[in-house]
Amino acid sequence: MHCVQRISDNIYWVGGNDRRLERFENMFPIPDGVCYNSYLILDEKTALMDTVDISIGRLFIENIAHVLNGRKLDYLIINHMEPDHCANIEELLKRYPDIKIVGNKKTFQFISQFYDFEYCNNTLEVKDGDTLSLGSHNLKFMAMPMVHWPEVMFTYEEKEKVLFAADAFGTFGALAGNLFSDDTDFENHYLNEARRYFANIIGKYGPQVQTALKKVSQYEIKIICSLHGPVWRENLSYIIDKYDKWSRYEPEKKGVVLVYASMYGNMENTMNVIAGKLAQKGIKDMRMYDVSKTHPSYIVADIWKYSHVIFGSVTYNLGLYYGMESLLHELKALNLQNRKVGLVGSGTWSP
């Protein structure tokens, strides 16, 4: 049974949700699932914005058929080639053999790397600034490399002023019926997961996100359609401002994250003592994590949020405790900066 929603008179959401998947990219816990968004534009020509993960492929095909209502699909626009957004290309080629696949040079390189089906007669290669007319709707393509993959592009629909933003402005979490961010309590339901998504998935590429924000700022945008999470049609400045701050590695709030690695509870107690001293000095907003218990993606997200962080770790096998070493490696890889940092160490098991 199809499950679609209308975004405007001529644009439809044809995506779906996966609440069974336990880990996004087989790394990040997603207790609330994930949504895979795809969008279909009806005009003199029809255009589909990306596909979805194979897990909801059957629903996706039913959604497209329902909206097309017997019409053919003219274009598949590929803004992002990560497999959770491109798993249905071959199926679409089988069902709509005259379809044109629209992408950039990297897009088609990745299709050839990932899949073994014939598509060369169905390609339309575009570059930054190229346009494509569907009739009254005109699409403009913007190269956005490394937000967060090399081939990524955004597509701007000029008539209804819709930005199809690939993985940018996305979030973990399945949709609970409310497609639009203004139809739900975004701050309570999605903000923490949007931050965790940004910090762990896109955070490394802050400079590229800054470039993207500057590039799209020259356009009037009324709707933002991401490949994950709700659609934005109201208060767009809220999520744009969040992305601006996150990608400049600026903390959102003054507060302290205390992270410890402890085998027998001694370092844990030390960190509790420190937290108590901070509380006595009037620090109200603090978070404390055991690296052996909490998945690092949650710790990374809170470090992204707060202004100060204290790391406390024991030694292990003449080096740093493995969980702490892994977390610090992740933070370095994600390019985190602009935080006040405190270090607490125990050198018992060391040279």
Q: What is the CATH number of the domain that holds 305?
A: 3.40.50.360
Residue where a domain stops, chosen among 190, 225, 247: 247
* Cα-based torsion angle of the residue sequence 233, 172, 303, 300 in order, rounded to the nearest 10 degrees: -150
Task: Tell me if 351 is assigned to some domain.
Answer: no
- Domain extent at residue 192: 5-247
Same domain, residue pair 138 and 272: no
pLDDT of residue 279: 98
Asked which of 247, 267, 298 is the last residue of a domain, the reply is 247
- In this structure, the strands spanning 39-42 and 11-13 are antiparallel
CATH number of the domain bearing residue 84: 3.60.15.10
What local confidence, expressed as pLDDT, does residue 350 receive? 87
Task: Quote the pTM value.
Answer: 0.96
Please count the structural domains in the chain: 2
Residues with pLDDT less than 70, the chain = none
- Residue 85 tokens, joined: 């957004």
Q: In whole angstroms, give the CA distance from residue 325 to residue 319.
A: 9
Give Cβ neighbours of residue 84 (< 8 Å, ≥ 6 apart): 36, 52, 53
User: Quick one: pLDDT at residue 26?
Assistant: 98
The answer to whether 40 and 14 are in contact (CB under 8 A) is yes
How far is the C-alpha of 110 from the C-alpha of 89, rounded, in Å?
12
> Which pLDDT belongs to residue 128?
98
Q: Which amino acid is at 80?
A: H
Looking at the fold, whether 238 and 257 belong to one and the same domain comes out as no
Please give the pLDDT value at position 351. 79
Domain match, 170 and 258 both: no
Q: Is 258 found in the same domain as 214?
A: no
Residue 67 covered by a domain: yes
Q: Which residues is 253 bridged to in the sheet?
A: 306
Reduced to 3 states, what is the DSSP secondary structure of residue 43?
A: coil
Which of residues 180, 215, 247 is at a domain's end? 247
Longest dimension (CA), the chain: 73
Q: Are 41 and 61 members of one domain?
A: yes
Instruction: Tell me: do 123 and 237 sit in the same domain.
Output: yes
pLDDT tens digit sequence for 301-317:
999 999 999 999 999 99
pLDDT for the residue 258: 99
Query: pLDDT of 261-285, one tens digit each?
Result: 999 999 999 999 999 999 999 999 9
Residue in 103, 215, 224 with CA at minimum distance from that of residue 163 = 224
